[in-house]
A and B are shown apart, each in its own frame.
Chain A
Amino acid sequence: TQLLEQSPQFLSIQEGENLTVYCNSSSVFSSLQWYRQEPGEGPVLLVTVVTGGEVKKLKRLTFQFGDARKDSSLHITAAQPGDTGLYLCANTDKLIFGTGTRLQVFP
């Protein structure tokens, strides 16, 4: 069974700071998705990456898929309080979610 480990587990930062969240897998992803989940709600898809080395940008969020397709990162530039939430990576081909990174951005 594929394991998806995310780091860090918790992250508390001030508004305006940059941060990077990592997702590492024990095996190769066919495709990887990143979700954000806010308290009391279901996860919402942010991006899907498919090709090794792929980089996708979504406003202040930059997603990178590792060349070997076993890891991914999410970089947020100039974090805002609205970025607060639980960030999840997922191999939805295998219907497996990562352990999650809980981000808190303070004004």
Chain B
Amino acid sequence: EPEVTQTPSHQVTQMGQEVILRCVPISNHLYFYWYRQILGQKVEFLVSFYNNEISEKSEIFDDQFSVERPDGSNFTLKIRSTKLEDSAMYFCASSEGWLAGVAEQFFGPGTRLTVL
């Protein structure tokens, strides 16, 4: 069964460093998403991506964040200068269609980012 994969599973970095989180969405999906979940808190939407551009983003997704689909398979989230409060689980998701059409969203296993 096709699945969303994410690497690395755990990333430890120093405050101020740049990190790139990688995701491989399901191959025939067209919509891609990043979420984060701070330990013990709810899942928060960061950004959605379609047709090689950002379609929606939340207030959390400020200038220190960027997303890219550098090739036909990878979807990356870059955090330019990490802060302590960026420590969280980051989930990538993909869907075949836009969610307003109640398409199913498939989540990856997540990358745990720890900022020291």
Interface residues of chain A, those whose CB is within 8 Å of chain B, are 30-31, 33, 37, 40-45, 48, 50, 88, 90, 92-93, 95-100
Residues of B within 8 A of A99 (CB): 42
- Among B12-20, B72-80, B99-107, the stretch that binds chain A is B99-107
Q: A30-B100, A44-B107 are in contact. Are A98 and B48 (CB under 8 A)?
A: no
Contact B44 A97 (CB under 8 A): yes
B91's contact among A42, A93, A98, by CB below 8 Å, is which?
A: A42
Whether A43 lies near B107 (C-beta < 8 A) is yes
Contacts between the two chains (Cβ within 8 Å), count: 52
Checking A31, A41, A96, A97 against B110 with a beta-carbon cut-off of 8 angstroms, the contacting residue is A41
The B31-50 residues at the A interface (CB cut-off 8 A) are: 33, 35, 42-45, 48
Bound-state Cα–Cα, A75 to B42, Å = 21
Partner of B105, one of A30, A41, A45: A45
Q: Interface residues of B: mostly helix, strand, loop or mixed?
A: strand
Contacts of B35 in A (CB 8 A): 97
Shortest A93–chain B CB gap in Å is 5
Contacts A50-B102, A95-B99 given; does A42 touch B45 at CB 8 Å:
no
Q: How many residues of B are counted as interface, with CB atoms below 8 angstroms from the partner's CB atoms?
A: 22
Q: Closest residue to A94 on the B side, CB-wise?
A: B45
Does B56 lie at the interface of the complex (its beta carbon under 8 Å from any beta carbon of A)? yes
Q: Are A95 and B109 in contact (CB under 8 A)?
A: no
> A88: which of B42, B48, B102 is its contact (CB, 8 Å)?
B42
Q: Which 8 A-B pairs have the closest CB atoms?
A: A42-B107, A95-B45, A97-B43, A92-B99, A93-B100, A42-B91, A48-B102, A31-B102
Known: A95-B56, A100-B42. A42 touches B48 (CB 8 A): no
> Chain A: which residue is nearest B107 at the CB level?
A42
B25 at the interface (CB under 8 A from A): no
Q: Is the CB–CB distance between B99 and A98 below 8 Å?
A: no
Interchain CA distance A88-B102 in the complex, whole Å: 16
Residues of A within 8 Å of B56, CB to CB, are 95
